[in-house]
Amino acid sequence: MIILLDFARRKGSANSRSKANDRLQTVLAHDRIGTSSGIMEQVKKEVIQVIRKHVDTEEPEVSLISRGRQPVLDINIPLKGR
Amino acid sequence: MMEPSNGGQVVVITSGKGGVGKTTTVTNVSMGLAQLGFKVVAMDLDIGLKKLDLIMGLENRVIYDIVQVIEGECTLRQALVKDRRFPNLFMLPAAQTRNKDDVTEEQIKNLCAELKKEFDFILIDCPAGIERGFRNSIAAADWAVVVTNPEVSAVRDADRIIGMLESAQFQDIKLVINRIRPEMVRGGDMLSIDDLLNHLCIDLIGIVPEDDGVVISTNTGEPIILNQRSLAGRAFYNIARRFAGEEVPFLDLNHTGSLWDRIRMFFSKQVG
Ligand SMILES: Nc1ncnc2c1ncn2[C@@H]1O[C@H](COP(=O)(O)OP(=O)(O)O)[C@@H](O)[C@H]1O
Ligand SMILES: [Mg+2]
């Protein structure tokens, strides 16, 4: 009975801690460079424009991450093959 | 952290967010350092909203305040309130009827320079926020302690404060995680020590569990550190020892849950 109760409790809430971690990761990275999270969509649009002048690309992934306390812009642009 | 014999050190206890445990930390760590034999001043810079006198249980002994010292109405010595329990512990009260703009960074620096000659540790209780009161509080500090709780808004504010301390050229910034509830962390519903360290990337100097004894001790004015049977009291004493440069292992909070938690742990070990 104890085990069941514990299991039920854990199942419903196991992700509130990981959700907190995900949200913090994003919000801290933006706080550190002083931007709002909406800015990433804009960066994405403009990056794609610049690159597509030269090569054809898939949809890029643009995200702000942290290495230690250092915010890093992580851009991943898969190129289209022939 | 310097050796106290090199003259006193000024430590600011700060957090950004209010209500995370700055005043509780200043009170208990000051008392712990006094227990260890150091000469200590706990300085309240929450001008206009003073609380340190009350939490230390010294409110009836207050005669003058820090603004009166700065304005020359009394001497520093007259304003220092002597603790009831430790002859080497003093408190410098904030003014209640003034505001933060009544003191400048320069004045705090001068005051601390004076205190450093005679005391080993000067702990500054910083007000919440990032404005004038915060800047005054960090102006004279040799190093800083950031207090936070395992909770998103407190962590966000702690991060902001750490950034501001770094911009102000602080080399030595330490973290106190207060009000942790190990059983909630185990249940996946509270940020863990490691989570906080991963986000904030500064060194840990203390972990203080949530403890009802803290609330009781604020009622009575007898700081929790005086009760070494309480977990929070021991945690604060360990922080004081780390201030003094000792290497003290962190308390293992995983084996200190309620009986119910221990029974649950026992059963979960049986299954997994
Ligand atoms: N470890 C703890 N366990 C339980 N209550 C705590 C703990 N630390 C602080 N508190 C309570 O939280 C409240 C805010 O603490 P305080 O030290 O005044 O915060 P701050 O100075 O940062 O505003 C107080 O009522 C205090 O008793
Ligand atoms: Mg306070």
d(CA B206, CA B241): 10
Q: How far is the CA of B166 from the centre of ligand 1 (A)?
A: 26
d(CA B150, CA B185): 9
Q: Does A69 lie at the interface with B, CB-CB under 8 angstroms? A: yes
Domain boundaries, chain A: 2-76
List b or e across B48-61, with b for residues whose CB sees 16 or more CB atoms inside 10 angstroms. Answer: bebbbbebbbbbee
Q: Does A23 lie at the interface with B, CB-CB under 8 angstroms? A: yes
pLDDT at B229 over 70: yes
Predicted confidence at residue B70, as pLDDT, reads 95
Contacts of B170 (CB under 8 A, 6+ apart): B138, B141, B143, B144
B15-33 pLDDT, tens digit each: 999 999 999 999 999 999 9
DSSP at B176: E
B144-200 pLDDT, tens digit each: 999 999 999 999 999 999 999 999 999 999 999 999 999 999 999 999 999 999 999
The answer to whether B188 contacts A16, with C-beta atoms less than 8 Å apart, is: yes
Q: Does B160 lie at the interface with A, CB-CB under 8 angstroms? A: yes
Distance, in angstroms, between A11 CA and closest chain B CA?
9
Predicted confidence at residue B102, as pLDDT, reads 83
pLDDT at A6 over 80: no
B9-267 placed in CATH 3.40.50.300: yes
- ipTM exceeds 0.90, yes or no: no
pTM score, whole prediction:
0.88
Judge whether B39 and B122 are in contact, CB under 8 Å.
no
Judge whether B137 and B14 are in contact, CB under 8 Å.
yes
pLDDT at A68 over 70: yes
The best mutation among B15, B31, B126, B214 to test binding of ligand 1, ranked by most ligand atoms within 8 Å of the C-beta, falls on: B214
Q: How confident is the model at residue B131 (pLDDT cuts 50, 70, 90)?
A: very high
- The whole-chain average pLDDT of chain B stands at 92
Predicted confidence at residue A14, as pLDDT, reads 56
The two tokens of residue B207 are 């972990």
Q: Tell the residue nearest (CA) to atom 23 of ligand 1.
A: B19
Q: Which of A10, A25, A28 sits opposite B188 (nearest CB)?
A: A10
Q: Which of A9, A25, A68 sits opposite B187 (nearest CB)?
A: A9
Q: How confident is the model at residue A9 (pLDDT cuts 50, 70, 90)?
A: very low
B55-79 pLDDT, tens digit each: 999 999 999 999 999 999 999 999 9
